Amino acid sequence: MSAGAIGARAVGTLLAAHRGGAQIWPENSLLAFRNAIALGADFLEFDVHLSKDGEVVVIHDPTVERTTTGAGAVSDRTLAELRTLRLKGRDGKGTEEAIPTLDEVVGLAAPTPVRLLLEIKVDARGGRYPGIEEKALVILDRHGMAGRTLVMAFQEETVRRIRTLRPEVWVGGLCEKRDLAEMRSTVEREIERLRDAGARFIGLHQGLVTPDVVEQAEQAGLLLGVWTVNDAGAMKRFIELGVGILITDRPDVARELLGR
């Protein structure tokens, strides 16, 4: 599958399992990703950080206490130390699931048709991880998945870094209301900024997505993703608006609404 297939929407709105399906299974777990693939999700959405010894690991927060049985910053623990932790289930109790590496998640996805929405995060101090973009690309290439992955970030520097390293890889920016307030910007300006930066995707919090925004993103040539949509009524509304990717913690509900 080529990079161009990322944006192919012959079947309409595409379905992304947010953190694998965080309202059903332990978020960002191999269990969640396996089940999301079995459900027929078009994308697995997940987040990456670097361990103390420079390994790319799949976890949302820069610290481990919310989602695991441990505490502290991801970047303060080696991969071996992170592996001793267990991911929490929906009840807050530890499960048998461990924090996966990016290599494991990409390896799981590679033999299947699923595509990847890979968000590059910053550390607990808000700083970029040195070399994380290069490391992620090496892993994607190892499994032949660079053409089936859309790399995204809130930080423009990360977007531009991916563009510089690999212009052919799909890359996009993320935006929510707080960002707009801090930057004194608008959705319309951010769409233009990302287009000018060579991005091919924009991911917006659902509170920012209107019919006009959908139209402007399409005119700018940007695939539009909306997150994180867990209410069935809101899912239906965004599907009817024609958003490119519906990003949800409930891929099971979204699948039914999409008529899969």
CB contact at 8 A, 14 and 245: yes
For 45-71, write each residue's pLDDT tens digit: 999 999 999 999 999 999 999 999 999
Instruction: Tell me how far the alpha carbon of residue 46 is from its chain's centroid.
Output: 4
**Mutual orientation of helices 132-142 and 102-109 as an angle, nearest 10°?**
30
For 204-229, write each residue's pLDDT tens digit: 999 999 999 999 999 999 999 999 99
Place of tokens 């965004």: 238
If you write DSSP's letter for every residue of 25-36 in order, what string do you get?
S-TT-HHHHHHH
Residues paired with 224 in a beta bridge: 202
Give the range of the structural domain holding residue 143, as residue numbers without chain letter: 3-257
Instruction: Give the residues of the chain that fall short of pLDDT 50.
Output: 1-4, 8-9
Place of tokens 């929906």: 90
- H or E, element range at 79: helix 79-83
Confidence (pLDDT) at 12: 87
pTM for the model:
0.96
Confidence (pLDDT) at 3: 34
Domain count, the chain: 1
Choose, from 49, 60, 143, 205, the residue flagged as catalytic: 60
Choose, from 18, 49, 143, 205, the residue flagged as catalytic: 18
C-alpha 5/C-alpha 74 separation (Å) is 33
User: What is the domain-level CATH number for residue 190?
Assistant: 3.20.20.190
18 is catalytic: yes
If you write DSSP's letter for every residue of 120-165 in order, what string do you get?
EP--TTSPPPTTHHHHHHHHHHHTT-GGGEEEEES-HHHHHHHHHH
Residue 244: closest CA among 40, 37, 8: 8
